[in-house]
Amino acid sequence: MRLRSTALGLAVMVIIFGGIGISKLSGAWVTESQKVAAPIKAGAFAGLANPADIRGSYTFGDVSKNFGIPVQVLAKAFGLENEKDPAALKVKDLESKFSSLDKEIGTASVRLFVALYKGLPYEISGDTYMPAPAVEILKSSGTLKPDQLKYVEAHSVDISRVK
């Protein structure tokens, strides 16, 4: 049996676009990153999202979705409650937003805040600073252990002078 070039071309198009259509209908066709934090692998918190997996490309909306912290709480903690769309703010943009400070506030700060806010394990490497509003939110939660409270108080940064 011989196929004519038009029939073969048509068959190829049907296979390609039919496969894409079926993949889309089944939900298997994904062209964007899903931004899902890796789970904690062991211990009492196994299976929960790991704050150490928060990446700079995550938005506050992604963090909220992964960890169940309202975007408004994240925005208030990092002094961004006046932003038009705080859910769209990328975590990595905090470093440039607070670049005028003598202490770095960035992705590690968000990781630490999320871990302490949710009571999840997180290993601090180096000095991680947090904005004073974030420290106040954590203190008011009443869930910090004495060593955690001492750490966040010692690593609190006044962000009131940042525009």
DSSP string, the chain: ----HHHHHHHHHHHHHHHHHHHHHHT----S----PPBP-SSTTTTSBPGGG--TT-BHHHHHHHH---HHHHHHHTT-TTSS-GGG-BTTHHHHHTTTSSS--SHHHHHHHHHHHHT------S---EEHHHHHHHHHHT---HHHHHHHHHTEE--TT--
Residue with tokens 């004519």: 4
Q: How many whole angstroms separate alpha carbon 16 and alpha carbon 74?
A: 44
Domain boundaries, the chain: 1-31, 51-157
Is 162 in contact with 98 (CB distance < 8 Å)? Answer: yes
Q: What is the pTM of this model?
A: 0.79
Q: How many whole angstroms separate alpha carbon 154 and alpha carbon 82?
A: 27
The whole-number pLDDT of residue 128 equals 92
Least confident of 11-15, 34-38, 131-135: 34-38
Is residue 33 over pLDDT 70?
A: no
Confidence label for 143 from pLDDT (cuts 50, 70 and 90): confident
The whole-number pLDDT of residue 2 equals 77
Least confident of 32-46, 51-65, 118-132: 32-46
Which residues does 97 contact at the CB level (< 8 Å), separation at least 6? 80, 105, 162
Is residue 30 over pLDDT 70?
A: no
